[in-house]
Amino acid sequence: MSQIFTKKFIIIGNPGVGKTSLIKNFVEGSFLSEYKSTIGTNLYTKTLEFKSGKSEDNENNEGNDITVKLVLWDIAGQVQWDLMRGAYYQGSHGVCVVGDLSSKRTFQKIEKFWVKDARETCNKSIPVILLANKNDLKAEISEEEVKELANRCNVDRVIFTSAKTSYHVEEAFIGLIKLCLNVDSLIFVDYE
């Protein structure tokens, strides 16, 4: 049996934390070293194929084929886009909130604004993962501090990433898919 899901994920955080770079790495397998500010929002799509793990309910003890069509909304972090942000959030199934490990203040803003903004605008139970990005640079905030902040913000998961080196980028998006579908046993098969 095959199932198809379409999921909208919003990627939010301060300007310059690497939101676009993470998405481009995941969708296109590329990294651009020059910074260009996102204007409003950019949309990216990617289709992924999975098999669900074996279950007790399945007589044949075989996994189901699952196709997930992702629509990734890269949302600008600049103040001038505050009024539009709520409209961009509508219909979201999951949130990636991104901080820059080389800038402690980006994590302070995650705690003071980004997670609260997403949960108030989307819904309080929306899955949220915190991506501690730029793991390839000298950190201004420790792993322990990031995890403590994540606990205070009640995010579902923390993943340390680097869009430049591809460190845990795929795992981050697949992890959010698993949270949204509430299926830990998904086995990634292929991209379309």
Question: Could you read off the pLDDT tens digit of each residue along the chain, which spans 192 residues?
Answer: 689 999 999 999 999 999 999 999 999 998 877 766 676 678 999 999 998 875 554 445 466 899 999 999 998 866 655 667 778 889 999 999 999 999 999 999 999 999 999 999 998 999 999 999 999 999 999 999 999 999 999 999 999 999 999 999 999 999 999 999 988 777 888 765
Range of the domain at 134: 2-191
The predicted pLDDT at position 180 comes to 94
CB neighbourhood size of 162 (10 A):
21
- Give residue 80's pLDDT: 56
- Rounded to whole angstroms, how far apart are CA atoms 66 and 7? 13
Could you tell me the sign of the dihedral formed by the alpha carbons of 185, 188, 189, 191, in that order? positive
Q: Sign of dihedral through CA atoms 174, 176, 181, 184?
A: positive
User: What is the tally of structural domains in the chain?
Assistant: 1
Q: What does the alpha-carbon distance between residue 47 and residue 30 come to, in Å, rounded to a whole number? A: 17
Ordered DSSP codes for the chain: -EEEEEEEEEEE-STTSSHHHHHHHHHHS----S-----SEEEEEEEEEEEPPP-TT-TT--PPEEEEEEEEEEE--SGGGHHHHHHHHTT-SEEEEEEETT-HHHHHHIIIIIHHHHHHHS-TTS-EEEEEE-TTS--SS-HHHHHHHHHHHT-SEEEE-BTTTTBTHHHHHHHHHHHHHT-TT-EEEEE-
**Stated pTM of the model:** 0.88
Token pair, residue 92, equals 């979201």
Which pLDDT value is given to residue 81? 58
Q: How many CB atoms lie within 10 A of CB 28?
A: 11
CATH number of 119's domain: 3.40.50.300
Q: How far apart are CA 127 and CA 141, in angstroms?
A: 24
